Structures are given as structure tokens and as C-alpha cells.
Amino acid sequence: MLTVYAKYEPTTDVVIRHVESVTAKRKRDVQIYKDEACTLPFARFMWWQKRPTRRSKTVRLNCYRWNIVWK
């Protein structure tokens, strides 16, 4: 299996970013990258979607199964 790299990042959801609340500031997306330096974005799971967690070892993207390495 091929390897992708994942990390939590602040959300890019435009609506939730403008809400002034404590819970809105804690919303995090999972960003998937193709390279170890995390410069080539591959996929993004928004905070409201079902997404991989730190316990996940694999993820299915574009009909392929990929190994995940968390950063």
C-alpha cells in the first residue's frame, strides 16, 4: 500500500470561522498530504464529516486504500 501523511489543521469552513464561540475555535479538519514534508495536499476531511482519527492505520481515498502516518 502507498503511504499518505495526515495532520489536524484549523477548519477552512467559511461559516464556522466567523462564529465567535469557544466551540467554533476548536473545530479541526484532517488534511491529507502526499509527501512527508506536508507540502502536497491530497485530500481534506472537514470537521463535520466522518474522518480518520489518530487510531486509524489506513484510509480509503479515490477507491484505493492508503497507509496513514500522522504528523
pTM listed for this prediction: 0.84
pLDDT at residue 10 in the model:
87
Domain ranges in the chain are 2-70
* 1: confidence class by pLDDT, cuts 50, 70, 90: confident
pLDDT of residue 57: 95
CA separation, residue 26 to residues 62, 63, 69 (Å):
28, 30, 23
pLDDT digits (tens, 9 = 90+) for 18-68: 776 666 667 899 999 999 999 999 999 999 999 999 999 999 998 999 999
